[in-house]
Amino acid sequence: MAFRFRDAADILRDNRIMVILGVVAAAAILLASRGQQMQPKGNIPTEEPTISVCFHETGEIKSMPLETYLEGVVAAEMDPNWPLAALEAQAIVARTFTLKKLQEGPLEGRNAQASTDPKEFQAYDASRVNDRVRQAVSNTRGKIITYRGEPIRAWFHSSSGGKTASASEGLNFTKESAPYAQPVTDVQTEPSHQWTARFSAGEVIQAARAVGVELDGLTSINIGRRGPSGRAETLSINGREVSAPQFRLAIGEQKMRSTLIDSLRLEGDTVYMKGRGFGHGVGMSQWGAWLLAQRGKSAQDIVTYYFKGVQIQNSWQ
């Protein structure tokens, strides 16, 4: 082949190519660096963890794969015969809740990472697991909810009573900001939508003492401050301010089903309450998930209805 001298057109063309290659390389480096910034934080595992679970009724500690553990959680926390999409949403939420807890370290005094006591972790009942639950966990394997690359605090409750609550309002949670847990108008009407309860003066005094307020008798009880969803953030008891979420836990969450209180009065030595919803009201409403699933919504639709600005991503396969 004959040798040819490079003319000005060749040189100009080659220079253009070099410039283009340089721009492409720079863009690749920039995208790579941005991609690293968008990677999940918080040491999210890429392989399924094995976790230690304390069975609180016996004190026995067992190790099991996280996905196996989740089957027992989903079956205990939600009716295992509910629509598949609702169970899938519960699996995603429970997986995220568990992973966030694991990042915080073992449970104090348990010598384990998780517990079957719903007051300190999540409910668990392997005897309720059926094929539908197994399918829901399998279909969502490794899927978690993140906000800006971090697993969220994936709270859930039975029913909102018409509107969900922020974390500070429903749980008195002030440890960190949780902008993804915003009050949303709920979709459901459910059996536990309305409730009534009554408490003796002694029960109220004892519950107030449990949250650090000493009372000399009971002369008055009123709603102190309400939050954006209408829930009581504080109660005024004998003129003393008491955290409503903490008071609810102290007096009995099965009787005082929520802090979404419609009426509150003291008659003699008895306190009468009427309210709506069941649970703290933060995050996903399980009855709302049921109705959304009945309407044909997917698990992702359900999750993103209750948690705002989040992504659902795969952590392990």
Dihedral sign of CA atoms 263, 264, 267, 272 in order: positive
Same domain, 219 and 270: yes
Q: Which two tokens stand for residue 215?
A: 């009372």
Q: Is residue 161 one of the residues assigned to a domain?
A: no
Q: What is the pLDDT of residues 156-214, one digit of tens each?
A: 999 999 999 999 999 999 889 999 999 999 986 665 589 999 999 999 999 999 999 99
Quick one: pLDDT at residue 190? 60
Same domain, 252 and 267: yes
Quick one: pLDDT at residue 15? 47
Same domain, 54 and 125: yes
Nearest to 73 by CA among 137, 145, 131, 140: 137
Q: Is residue 189 one of the residues assigned to a domain?
A: no
Quick one: pLDDT at residue 145? 98
Quick one: pLDDT at residue 35? 32
Q: Is residue 207 one of the residues assigned to a domain?
A: yes
Longest CA span, the chain: 112
Low-confidence stretches of the chain (pLDDT beneath 50)? 1-15, 17-40
- Rounded Cα gap, residues 81 and 55, in angstroms: 24
Quick one: pLDDT at residue 245? 97
Q: Is residue 310 one of the residues assigned to a domain?
A: yes
Eight-state DSSP code of residue 185: B
Same domain, 78 and 135: yes
Nearest to 314 by CA among 67, 87, 31: 67
Same domain, 54 and 150: yes
Total tally of structural domains belonging to the chain: 2
- Rounded Cα gap, residues 302 and 288, in angstroms: 8
Same domain, 204 and 132: no
Count helices and strands in the chain by DSSP H and E runs: 9, 14
Q: What are phi and psi of 196, to 5 degrees?
A: -130, 150
Same domain, 265 and 288: no
The range of the structural domain enclosing residue 245 comes to: 194-276
Q: What are phi and psi of 192, to 5 degrees?
A: -100, 25
Quick one: pLDDT at residue 37? 30
CA distances from 47 to 97, 258, 314, 316 (A): 17, 38, 10, 5
Same domain, 253 and 306: no
